[in-house]
Chains A and B, each alone.
Chain A
């Protein structure tokens, strides 16, 4: 065991770094940043550094699966401050689903634009009556000639106002058992009968929306997988969503911010970072963060040689969530009576003040499925405990 990547991978790292030095100019003054990023992504994809699992004909980099190379690319992109793959519902959730389940024409039509952010997608899963128990959705679609007619309501839909399309779970087989009556359907957000209403969050911002679907028509062949297969199809997306929540670099960044808050703020004229109680608590969280970091590193390394990392992979989301909650709690302690106030005007996700940051951190326990659902999954799959509602 060692921490060296080996000659082949070190050479790959140099290759990526050389490409970045040549192709990425950070913050060209006066330049159109979005256009610059788009051009860079196109080039990086052609070189096989982005969207590696997707064929070139669908806008991918088409490279053999190699978790280590992917990690090296992410590290080098971060070092250079260069944009990576677009992190959106379209590229991270819809695209892998289409790749596994889509018909050729669907891949042809949607994949490239979804990956590169040229068309924006939102996810239509949750409903007011179907959260953790997602399979109980009631939004229904009926075939009418060459179109599905959709009626119902979706909720917690991020970016619905900006989205061009939605991928949605709808009930198409009302008489089938609840998991087998669902289909995975695509629809145009500009179609007649789609109404988006923003939901105001506790932070004051509006990321989520309610989406009302009132006799919305979508072509009959805009279905991914077979009729009634939607539940199975959606599992692809959910597993990708869970894997993406709270990875170690995100947690490490939170931890850096926590230390930064402790340096900036004082108690009785003394920086908090010099107070023993605060030191102890940060050091304790650091222990959790280190374990998460090296556990994920172990999983990547094992994956790369075909070993099974076992239960650790199931734990990642909850582990990251719990560390996020610990960090939030200690931050709240440190911001003291400022926690009585709303975030300062003008604070935003891009430029968070400490209050906003503390409030926002509550969302890590919800995104991609609540923690309690995650605990059921871990208990049943990793510990082989009896399934919910089924006495063994």
Chain B
């Protein structure tokens, strides 16, 4: 059995971690969170230099030719570090073109997406429903009209992959005025959100209706972010408990605190295996793929949120301030909780897909 990380995978995670921490004296997460537009060009260049934008893109098109599990490992580190930007949207758009695009579409976009000369994002569902069955946009006469919600980093994107009614996908280039983007006042300032509006926008649909597959991939990458984030919050909170002194001793010596932290570790730690399995479900296209991934995202989003809320409780007042970094992860937990569907919605999806049979 090969259900552990290879040396290459460990090296990939280390490289991404060093890349994030090497920028702005380890304060990238804070600088981007507090900046006006959330852009981090130096970090993007760093990811490009690592080849991280092309992790899932075939080598024929200039990528590394790796799997979703490897993309998930990158996203885990980004979640741990609260790294800014739209990495997930970019790699999902690339994956969509790769699995569902025509040879021409692949030739045109994949090399550019791999080397970062074009940046992409996705608009998969949103307020009207995240699941592929809920998508409503239609391409008529090669034109797209209507709204697409919650696209991360759309202000920096050259193209967007949009989910269509029936589970199809289309490429749309960000050409104003046929595509307008409106910034939202998102709570997670490390992943800025935009509403999109299409007015006779030129659509280039992908020939294969791979929407459900790309939606599953989105959920897996959110799982990865959630696991990375939850582990970091765990670490941050245990550090605090070891060093914060009250009643003459570190608060981590009090059994009430110790037990709460032990319980939290027992919630978070087993999720590493769950994350890997969810990614493998996608890579191996296992029969239980969609329902397992839906359950995994529901579970991880709940665990991350619970970890984050408990961390505030364990920190006391400092944990509720803007200055203390914990709030950045709390808001990322809120993002991972709602984006792609809340735990309740996803559990109902898993039931529909047969998880109780």
Shortest beta-carbon distance from A14 to chain B in Å: 16
Cβ of B269 under 8 Å from chain A: yes
* Mask: chain A, 354-392; 1 = CB below 8 Å from B; 0 = not: 000000000000000000101110111011111110111
Assess the B259–A294 pair: CB atoms within 8 A.
no
A390 to B6, CA, bound (A): 40
Assess the B265–A385 pair: CB atoms within 8 A.
no
- Chain B residue numbers with a CB within 8 Å of A4 are 1-2
Known contacts A3-B280, A287-B299, A312-B270; A385/B348 CB under 8 A: no
Cβ of A1 under 8 Å from chain B: yes
- Chain A residue numbers with a CB within 8 Å of B302 are 284, 287
Known contacts A3-B280, A6-B2; A283/B298 CB under 8 A: yes
Shortest beta-carbon distance from B222 to chain A in Å: 14
Known contacts A6-B2, A291-B274; A286/B238 CB under 8 A: no
Cβ of A94 under 8 Å from chain B: no
- Chain A residue numbers with a CB within 8 Å of B26 are none
Assess the A3–B261 pair: CB atoms within 8 A.
no
- Chain B residue numbers with a CB within 8 Å of A77 are none
A379 to B241, CA, bound (A): 11
Assess the A385–B242 pair: CB atoms within 8 A.
yes
Shortest beta-carbon distance from B227 to chain A in Å: 10
Assess the B270–A385 pair: CB atoms within 8 A.
no
Assess the B272–A379 pair: CB atoms within 8 A.
no
* Mask: chain A, 317-356; 1 = CB below 8 Å from B; 0 = not: 0110010000000000000000000000000000000000
A37 to B100, CA, bound (A): 56
Assess the B249–A392 pair: CB atoms within 8 A.
yes
Assess the B273–A280 pair: CB atoms within 8 A.
no
Known contacts A2-B284, A294-B274, A386-B252; A318/B266 CB under 8 A: yes
Known contacts A3-B280, A379-B261; A283/B270 CB under 8 A: no
Cβ of B36 under 8 Å from chain A: no
Assess the B272–A385 pair: CB atoms within 8 A.
no
- Chain A residue numbers with a CB within 8 Å of B255 are 372, 376, 388
Assess the B276–A298 pair: CB atoms within 8 A.
yes
Known contacts A290-B277, A290-B299, A291-B270; A283/B355 CB under 8 A: yes
B4 in complex: contacting residue of A307, A372, A385, CB < 8 Å: A307
Cβ of A168 under 8 Å from chain B: no
Assess the B273–A385 pair: CB atoms within 8 A.
no
For B273, B276, B280, which residue has the most chain A Cβ atoms within 10 angstroms?
B273
Q: In the complex, which range does the number of interface residues on chain B fall in?
A: 35 or more
* Mask: chain B, 253-269; 1 = CB below 8 Å from A; 0 = not: 10101110111011001
A280 to B271, CA, bound (A): 19
- Chain B residue numbers with a CB within 8 Å of A319 are 266, 270
A283 in complex: contacting residue of B248, B273, B351, CB < 8 Å: B351
A378 to B6, CA, bound (A): 27
* Mask: chain B, 328-357; 1 = CB below 8 Å from A; 0 = not: 000000000000000110011011000110
Cβ of B177 under 8 Å from chain A: no
Assess the A383–B262 pair: CB atoms within 8 A.
yes
Shortest beta-carbon distance from A257 to chain B in Å: 13
Assess the B270–A318 pair: CB atoms within 8 A.
no
Cβ of B69 under 8 Å from chain A: yes
- Chain B residue numbers with a CB within 8 Å of A318 are 262-263, 266
Assess the B3–A283 pair: CB atoms within 8 A.
no
A391 to B270, CA, bound (A): 30
Cβ of A161 under 8 Å from chain B: no
Shortest beta-carbon distance from A91 to chain B in Å: 26
- Chain B residue numbers with a CB within 8 Å of A279 are 347-348, 351, 356
Assess the B249–A298 pair: CB atoms within 8 A.
no
Known contacts A276-B348, A295-B274, A386-B252; A375/B4 CB under 8 A: no
Cβ of B295 under 8 Å from chain A: yes
- Chain B residue numbers with a CB within 8 Å of A304 are 1
Assess the B348–A378 pair: CB atoms within 8 A.
no
Assess the A297–B259 pair: CB atoms within 8 A.
no
For A2, A290, A301, A390, which residue has the most chain B Cβ atoms within 10 angstroms?
A290
Assess the A375–B259 pair: CB atoms within 8 A.
yes
Cβ of A311 under 8 Å from chain B: yes
Cβ of B184 under 8 Å from chain A: no
- Chain B residue numbers with a CB within 8 Å of A1 are 2-6, 9, 67, 69, 276, 280
A168 to B196, CA, bound (A): 72
- Chain B residue numbers with a CB within 8 Å of A160 are none
Cβ of A292 under 8 Å from chain B: yes
Shortest beta-carbon distance from B134 to chain A in Å: 18
Cβ of B292 under 8 Å from chain A: yes
Assess the A290–B262 pair: CB atoms within 8 A.
no
Known contacts A2-B2, A279-B356, A298-B272; A385/B280 CB under 8 A: no
Closest to B294 in A: A283
A312 to B9, CA, bound (A): 20
Closest to A383 in B: B238
A294 in complex: contacting residue of B238, B276, B356, CB < 8 Å: B276
- Chain A residue numbers with a CB within 8 Å of B262 are 318, 374-376, 378-379, 382-383
Assess the A283–B347 pair: CB atoms within 8 A.
yes
Cβ of A9 under 8 Å from chain B: yes
Shortest beta-carbon distance from A243 to chain B in Å: 15
Known contacts A283-B350, A315-B265; A301/B1 CB under 8 A: yes
Assess the A3–B242 pair: CB atoms within 8 A.
no
A103 to B320, CA, bound (A): 60
Shortest beta-carbon distance from A83 to chain B in Å: 25
Assess the B252–A259 pair: CB atoms within 8 A.
no
A301 to B263, CA, bound (A): 25
Cβ of B22 under 8 Å from chain A: no
Cβ of A238 under 8 Å from chain B: no
Assess the B284–A3 pair: CB atoms within 8 A.
yes
Assess the B355–A384 pair: CB atoms within 8 A.
no
A387 to B242, CA, bound (A): 11
A209 to B312, CA, bound (A): 46
Given contacts A298-B4, A376-B262, 7 further A-B contacts (CB under 8 A): A2-B280, A291-B274, A301-B2, A311-B265, A376-B255, A391-B249, A392-B250
Question: B interface vs A, CB < 8 Å?
Answer: 1-6, 9, 67, 69, 238, 241-242, 248-250, 252-253, 255, 257-259, 261-263, 265-266, 269-274, 276-277, 280, 284, 292, 295-296, 298-299, 302, 343-344, 347-348, 350-351, 355-356
A-B contact pairs, 9 of them (CB 8 A): A283-B351, A287-B299, A295-B271, A295-B274, A300-B1, A318-B266, A375-B259, A379-B259, A392-B250
The 3 closest A-B pairs by CB, nearest first: A287-B299, A294-B273, A386-B253
